[in-house]
Structure 1
Amino acid sequence: MRYDYLIAGAGIIGLSIARELIRREPQARIAIIEKESDVAKHASGRNSGVLHAGFYYTADSLKARFTRDGNRAMKKYCEQNGLFINPCGKLVVASDESELQGLEELKRRAARNGVRLEWLSEEEAARIEPNVRTYRKALYSPDTASVDPVEVCQCLKRELVSSGVDFFFNTKYTGRSHQTIRTNKPVFTCGYFINAAGLFADRIARDFGFGLQYTIIPFKGIYMKYAKNKSDVTTNIYPVPNLNNPFLGVHFTKTVDGSIKIGPTAIPAFWRENYKGFHRFNLGEFIQILYYEAKLFLTNSFHFRQLAFEEMKKYDKANFIGLSLRMVKAMDRNGFGDFLQPGIRAQLLNKKTLELVQDFVVEGDAGSIHVLNAVSPAFTCSFPFAEYVAELIGEKRSAVKSSLASKPEEDLVCQVT
C-alpha cells in the first residue's frame, strides 16, 4: 500500500485537496482513507449548503481570501457538472438601533474583501423579501446561493475515482511511524500525508508533533424545517452576528430545492460525535472536553457562560422558533416540523488563551500537513483552500530538497542514510 499522497478524511476538504493534487500531478498515486462508509458523513454532508459571499471576515484572514473566490469556483463546478444551485441571495437584518453598527462593519468588510453587498431601505428589502422584518435598513448579498453539499461531494468522488484516486472506506487512522500509516485495516506508506480528518484532525496532528497548542471543542448545530410550505420566505435571512465569535446566529436558510429551514444552534457538545443520545459516546473525549468547557465556563472566556446558557435554551422548540420569527413579519409558528439531523462543528480552541480560533489553521513540514480548523465557511472555500494547501505542500517539500542540495557531500550521505 504505497502512495505518493495519503489523505485522511473524505469530507469536502480532503476531496478538494485530492482533486487539486491530481490536477497538478496527474501521475501521482493518491489514496483517501475514511473511517465512515462513504464521503461527507459528518460536517461536509450536514451543513446548510449555503455558498457564502465573504463579507463576515476580516481582510487579513484566510477565510476572507477564499470565501469570495470559493463562491465563484463552487458555482462554476456545479454548473459544469449539472448540479443544482439555488441563487437565492441573502438579507442581513437589524432588530434595533444597536445592531446598525454591526451592519456598518459588515459593509466595511465587504468593501475591503471585494465582495458585493448592497444597502437597502426597509422598503427595498421588502421588495426582495416581502416577509422580512428589519430596523431602518438591511444588507443584501446577491452572490449568496445554496447547493446540495452531499451531491457536490458525491460528484467529486466520481471525478476522483475516474482520475485514479483510490478510496478506502471504513478505514480508520490508528497511528503512524515515520511515513508508515497504521489503520484498522491495511498499513500504508506514503511520500506525503495529509490530515483533513475534521473532528479528529487535532488528535492526528499531535502524532506528528503539530497542533500542540490546540484542541477541538465540538459545537452541535441543529436545524428545523418549516414544513408548511416553501413560499413564506424566498431568500436567506440572517441576523447581525456577534463578530467576536464564529457563530452567525439562528437564521432562515433556503435550501437548494427551495425548502425553508431555521438554525443552526451552536450548543456545546460533550464528545466529538455527540449527535444524539449516547451514540458514539467516548469517555476519554467526554472527560477532556468537559475539562476545557469547565475552564471556559469558569473564566467566561469570549462570554462562553452566556453563550452556553443561550444555546442550551434552543433545545426548547418554542424558544428556537421564536428567535427566527423576529426576522419576519408573519409566519405560522405551528408550521415548523421536527429538528433535522444535527451536525458537529469541529471548532478549534487555543488551550493557552482559551479563545476560539476564528480562521483556518494549517501546520506541516516536508512529510505531512494538517488542516486543523476547517470550519464554516470551509465548504464554500474548499477549492481555493485546496490550492493553498497544495502550494504549501510544494513549498515545504522544495525547501527540504534545497536544504539537502546545499549540504556538503559527507553531510548529504549522512542525511540520506
Structure 2
Amino acid sequence: MKFYDYLIVGGGIIGLSIARELKNRFPGNSVCILEKESDVAHHSSGRNSGVLHAGFYYTANSLKAKFTRDGNREMTSYCDANGLKINKCGKLVVATNEVEVQGLIELKKRADINGVELLWVDETEIHSIDPNVKTYKKALYSPTTASVDPIEVCQTIKEEVIKNGVDIYCDTQYKGFSQDEVLTNNGRFQCKYIINAAGLYADKIAKDFNFGEKYTIIPFKGIYLKYEKNKTDVVTNIYPVPNLANPFLGVHFTKTVDETIKIGPTAIPAFWRENYSGLRNFKLNEFFNILFYETKLFIKNSFNFRSLAIEEMKKYLKSYFINLSLKMVKQVDQNGFGDYMRPGIRAQLLNKETLELVQDFIVEGDNRSFHILNAVSPGFTCAFPFSRFVVDQIIEKQGIDSKKLNKSIS
C-alpha cells in the first residue's frame, strides 16, 4: 500500500493544476492523482471548446470573474512559455437589435469593473477585425480571448507534474473511502488529505465525506458543428449577447487553434453523466436520478428550464442549428457544414433546495478532505488561479502556518 500526503481524485485540468500548485508550495510532500480513464483530460477538460475566455460575462463579486481574468493571462503566458499552440484571434460580441445593445452595455460595465479589456467597435473597426461579421449598430471586441488545444495543454501540465514527482495512476477508479484509505479497483491508497476533483462525479464522492448534501450534478451535452468548406470565412470568435440568467452563452462561431471554424455548442440536457452517444456508459441509477430532477425542473419551469430544454433539443436538427448562427455573419455557405464533432458533457451543479443552477465555483471541505463541487465553465481558463485558491483553502483547513510555509519556500 502506498502513502501520500495529498491524493487527488480526477485527472482533468483542475486536478492537474492543483497537483502543480501543491508541488510548487510543498516540493517535499508526496502527491498523487487517481484517474479512472486511460489518460488525463478524457472528459470535459479534453472535450471543451479550447477558448480562453477574458472574464467580462461575470458579476464582479464572483470567483469566476477574478479567476477568468487572471486565468486568461496565466494560461496565455503558459502556452507562450512552453511553445504550445495558441490562436490569439480575439472575440466579437454582436447584437441583433436595440434590446441586445443594452446587453452589450451591461457586458461593458462588467468588464470595466472586473478590469478586463473590452472595446466598443463600430462597423469600420468590425470590418478590419473580421469583414464577415454582422451586428446591429456596434459590437464589443475582446482582444485577449484566444484558443488553445486543451489536450495539448493538459498533457504538458501532466509532464510537468510527473517531472516534479507527482505519481499519476490511470485506469484507477475511486470506489470508496474507509478510515485513512481510498479504495480503488487497483488496490488501496493511504493518504493524509484527499482532494476531490472528479468533475461529473464530484458530488457523489463528496457525499462519502458528508459534503455536498444539498447539491447534485445535472449533465448538459455540448456539441459543435464543423464548417468544412474552408478556414477563412470567419476570422475571429463571434458570440451573441447571452442570456445572463443562465450559464450558457448561446450558439456562436469558434475559431480553433488550427483556424478551423465551428458553431455551437448545444446545452442539451443529458440523461446520465457520460451520455455522449447511444447507450454507451449508461447507468440505470443515474438515469432515474437525473430524470427525476429534470422532470421536476420541467414541471416547475425553474430558470425557464422548460423552454431551454425544448430549444436545445431542436438543435439536433442540423438546419435549425445552422440558422441560429447565420444572424451573426454576412455570408457563409449553409451547405458547407460537415458532421457534428465529438461531444462534451458540462457537469452543472444544481441546488436541490432552490432548483437553481449554481453559476459560481462551489467548494467544501475540512481538515481531512476538500471537494470541488462546481468547477463551472470556464473552468479550463480559470484552472491556475483557481488551483491557488483551492490550495490556500486546504492550507487553512489543515491548520498549516502560512508564515512558516512562506519562510520555508523563500
Q: One fold, TM greater than 0.5? A: yes
Q: Partners in 2 of 1:75 and 1:127 — Cα distance?
A: 24
Aligned to 2:25: 24
The Cα shift of 1:318 comes to 0.3
CA deviation profile, 1:269-324 (whole Å, cap 9, x unmatched): 00000000100000000000000000000000000000000000000000001101
Q: Partners in 2 of 1:28 and 1:218 — Cα distance?
A: 35
Aligned to 2:141: 140
CA deviation profile, 1:338-387 (whole Å, cap 9, x unmatched): 00000000000000000000001010000010001112110000000000
Report the 3-state secondary structure (helix = DSSP H, G, I; strand = E; otherwise coil) of the residue aligned with 1:3: strand
The Cα shift of 1:166 comes to 0.5
Which shows bigger deviation, 125-134 or 43-52? 125-134
**Residue type of the partner of 1:329?**
K
Is contact 1:148-1:256 (8 Å) kept? yes
Q: Partners in 1 of 2:102 and 2:295 — Cα distance?
A: 33
Aligned to 1:312: 313
Aligned residue runs from structure 1 range 259-270, under 5 A: 259-270=260-271
Report the 3-state secondary structure (helix = DSSP H, G, I; strand = E; otherwise coil) of the residue aligned with 1:106: helix
Q: Percent identity?
A: 68
CA deviation profile, 1:62-110 (whole Å, cap 9, x unmatched): 0001101100100111111110110000000001111111111100000
**Residue type of the partner of 1:104?**
I
Structure 1 unaligned segments of length 5 or more: list them: 402-417
Aligned to 1:80: 81
Aligned residues, how many? 401
Q: Partners in 2 of 1:385 and 1:203 — Cα distance?
A: 21
Is contact 1:179-1:193 (8 Å) kept? no
Aligned to 2:96: 95
Q: Partners in 1 of 2:401 and 2:173 — Cα distance?
A: 30
After the TM superposition, list the runs of 4 or more consecutive aligned residues in structure 1 that deviate by more than 4 angstroms: none
**Residue type of the partner of 2:334?**
R
Aligned to 2:360: 359
Aligned residue runs from structure 1 range 199-238, under 5 A: 199-238=200-239
The Cα shift of 1:162 comes to 0.8
Q: Partners in 1 of 2:200 and 2:179 — Cα distance?
A: 23
TM-score normalised to structure 2 length: 0.97
Which shows bigger deviation, 122-131 or 306-315? 122-131
CA deviation profile, 1:139-186 (whole Å, cap 9, x unmatched): 000000010000000001111111111111011001001321101112
The Cα shift of 1:206 comes to 0.4
CA deviation profile, 1:108-159 (whole Å, cap 9, x unmatched): 0000000000011123212211000101110000000010000000001111
Aligned to 1:405: none
Q: Partners in 1 of 2:141 and 2:115 — Cα distance?
A: 15
**Residue type of the partner of 2:82?**
N
Structure 2 unaligned segments of length 5 or more: list them: 403-410
Q: Partners in 2 of 1:65 and 1:75 — Cα distance?
A: 16
**Residue type of the partner of 1:267?**
I
**Residue type of the partner of 1:19?**
R
Aligned to 2:387: 386
Q: Partners in 2 of 1:200 and 1:362 — Cα distance?
A: 14
Aligned to 2:370: 369
Q: Partners in 1 of 2:180 and 2:66 — Cα distance?
A: 32
Is contact 1:179-1:367 (8 Å) kept? no
